[in-house]
């Protein structure tokens, strides 16, 4: 018996019992659909985390100013700590063999920007020209802050993509005047739009950089007051509340809100992190009025979490396929019993045990593969539905499709092998007598 005839007999048998075949496939369909949907969610989350962390800069170490815990620190220590300062950054930058660049940032208390009758809620970031070297954000039009702007205390600004759209829509903003607080600034550039899907990565809150407006650091130092007694102050890209006794604040207002330290090589990140901790502990008299964030560590933690997620989701999907495989084996055993007389007739006219075994094994594999194709469609539909309604990123990779097809084929072979062997071992005489 040739393979073509075996395939024909197998497909004829499956078509003859179409409803039973479909019900047998259900376990594989739902199992493969679950594999595709879960792996697509996992891959989407993985890529999103990589994109978000890449915005922070994988070679960067971020130091953010924060309000110290006054109950844990002495009044003397609070008075001695200057808060996060330019001098801190200069001390760290002195280790030039390890540190490529240190960028200062201040977040000014001007939550709105005005252009004529148009307003936009923004985050005003005072920074340096080297900011674009330490981040993945690029200038789309015009230019960024320059050294000449810093030296001249120039009142120029660079708009984030969202701020530009809110104020100017389709109008060219370059050269236009906008008002930030009590001061007018000339727009000299627009930053490229940067996709920010979620607010947090491994517990670290990400800001929407498209809402930022950048001004020279020196201009902010000269134009904007840093004394905020009796009100909320900015710290590390967010608000913290000044803790006061009477009319006096218990700790010094930080000179800068964030330091972004770019390391010369990724392998030096752990070393520089320890170095930064020692320098700041010494300069701040042991007062923890700062927070150190290491994107590279966030990435490792994200990958570890992702691996656990993949294992759990894969196990759940694997159980679905296991149940589907058991269902296939049960149905195939019932089919062997039902077709015992047919097997006897085939054997009596020349079919070998191997031919019978191949026939039933092919039927089991075909059931799995057809179920796999339907399951792929279901998985893709689930992935798109989840992405649309839950607003979770999903990515269907070639790996997940190949895995689903491979596992389905393996399920068909493994769970179809026993019924096929049982059919092949039937005695010809007993099979012909079976009613």
Kindly write down the DSSP assignment for every residue of 298-337, as one continuous string.
Answer: HHHHHHHHHHHHHHHHHHHHHHHHHHHHHHHHHHHHHHHH
8 Å CB contact between 110 and 181: yes
Domain check: are 104 and 34 in the same one? no
Whether 30 has a pLDDT exceeding 90, the answer reads: no
Domain check: are 30 and 72 in the same one? no
Whether 67 has a pLDDT exceeding 50, the answer reads: yes
- What was the pLDDT predicted at 402? 83
* Total domains in the fold of the chain: 2
| Region of residue 60 (phi > 0: left; psi between -120 and 50: alpha; otherwise: beta) | beta
- Pairing assessment for the beta strands 156-159 and 118-121 based on DSSP bridges: unpaired
Domain boundary, last residue among 267, 295, 323: 295
- What was the pLDDT predicted at 235? 38
Domain holding 248, by residue range, is: 60-295
d(CA 150, CA 401): 54
Domain boundary, last residue among 253, 268, 295: 295
Nearest 5°: phi and psi at 103?
-110, 130
Domain check: are 167 and 267 in the same one? yes
Domain check: are 404 and 276 in the same one? no
8 Å CB contact between 50 and 395: no
**DSSP conformation class of 250:** S
SS3 sequence of 42-68: HHHHHHHHHHHHHHHCCCEEEEEECCC
Domain check: are 49 and 66 in the same one? no
- What was the pLDDT predicted at 129? 92
8 Å CB contact between 56 and 295: yes
Domain check: are 118 and 204 in the same one? yes
Domain check: are 93 and 189 in the same one? yes
Domain check: are 180 and 97 in the same one? yes
Domain check: are 240 and 380 in the same one? no
pLDDT tens, 297-345?
Answer: 777 777 777 777 777 777 777 777 777 788 888 888 888 887 788 788 8
Domain check: are 329 and 228 in the same one? no
pLDDT tens, 358-370?
Answer: 888 888 888 888 8
Domain check: are 138 and 66 in the same one? yes
- What was the pLDDT predicted at 240? 38
Domain boundary, last residue among 253, 273, 295: 295
More confident position, 281 or 234: 281
d(CA 431, CA 427): 6
d(CA 45, CA 308): 13
Domain check: are 13 and 150 in the same one? no
Burial classification of residue 222, based on how many CB atoms lie within 10 Å of its CB (0-12 exposed, 13-18 middle, 19 or more buried): exposed
8 Å CB contact between 188 and 141: no
pLDDT tens, 370-410?
Answer: 888 888 888 888 888 887 877 677 888 787 788 778 877 88
High-pLDDT (> 90) share of the chain, %: 14
Q: How confident is the model at residue 208 (pLDDT cuts 50, 70, 90)?
A: confident
Whether 348 has a pLDDT exceeding 60, the answer reads: yes
d(CA 27, CA 322): 8
- What was the pLDDT predicted at 347? 80
């Amino acid at each position: 018996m040739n393979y073509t005839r075996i395939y024909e007999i197998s497909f004829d048998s499956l078509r003859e019992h179409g409803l039973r075949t479909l019900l047998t496939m259900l376990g594989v369909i739902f199992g493969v659909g679950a594999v595709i949907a879960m792996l697509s969610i996992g891959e989407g989350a993985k890529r999103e985390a990589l994109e978000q962390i890449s915005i922070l800069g994988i070679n960067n170490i971020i130091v953010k100013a924060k309000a110290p815990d006054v109950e844990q620190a002495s009044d003397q220590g609070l008075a001695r700590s200057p808060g996060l300062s330019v001098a801190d950054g200069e001390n760290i930058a002195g280790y030039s063999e390890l540190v490529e660049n240190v960028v200062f940032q201040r977040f000014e208390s001007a939550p709105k920007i005005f252009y004529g009758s148009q307003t936009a809620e923004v985050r005003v970031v005072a920074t340096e020209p080297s900011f674009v070297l330490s981040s993945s954000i690029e200038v789309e039009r015009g230019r960024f802050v320059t050294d000449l702007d810093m030296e001249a205390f120039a009142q120029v600004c660079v708009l984030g993509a969202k701020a530009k759209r809110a104020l100017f829509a389709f109008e060219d903003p370059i050269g236009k005047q906008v008002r930030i607080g009590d001061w007018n600034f000339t727009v000299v550039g627009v930053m490229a739009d940067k996709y920010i899907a979620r607010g947090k990565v491994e517990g670290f809150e990400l800001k929407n950089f498209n809402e930022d407006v950048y001004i020279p650091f020196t201009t902010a130092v000269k134009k904007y007051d840093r004394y905020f007694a009796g009100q909320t102050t900015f710290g590390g890209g967010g608000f913290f509340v000044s803790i006061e006794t009477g009319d006096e604040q218990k700790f010094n207002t930080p000179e800068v809100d964030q330091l972004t330290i770019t390391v010369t090589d990724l392998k030096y990140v752990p070393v520089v992190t320890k170095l930064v901790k020692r320098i700041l502990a010494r300069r701040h008299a042991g007062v923890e009025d700062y927070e150190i964030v290491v994107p590279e560590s966030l990435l490792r933690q994200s990958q570890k979490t992702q691996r656990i997620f993949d294992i759990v989701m894969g196990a759940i999907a694997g159980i679905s396929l296991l149940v589907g495989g058991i269902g296939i084996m049960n149905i195939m055993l019932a089919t062997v019993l039902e077709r015992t007389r047919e097997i006897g007739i085939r054997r009596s006219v020349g079919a070998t045990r191997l031919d019978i075994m191949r026939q039933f094994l092919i039927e089991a594999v075909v059931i799995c593969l057809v179920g796999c194709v339907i399951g792929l469609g279901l998985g893709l539909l689930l992935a798109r539905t989840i992405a649309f309604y839950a607003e979770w990123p999903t990515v269907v990779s070639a790996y997940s499709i190949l895995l689903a097809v491979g596992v389905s084929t393996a399920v068909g072979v493994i769970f179809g092998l026993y019924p096929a062997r049982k059919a092949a071992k039937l005695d010809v005489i007993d099979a012909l007598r079976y009613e």
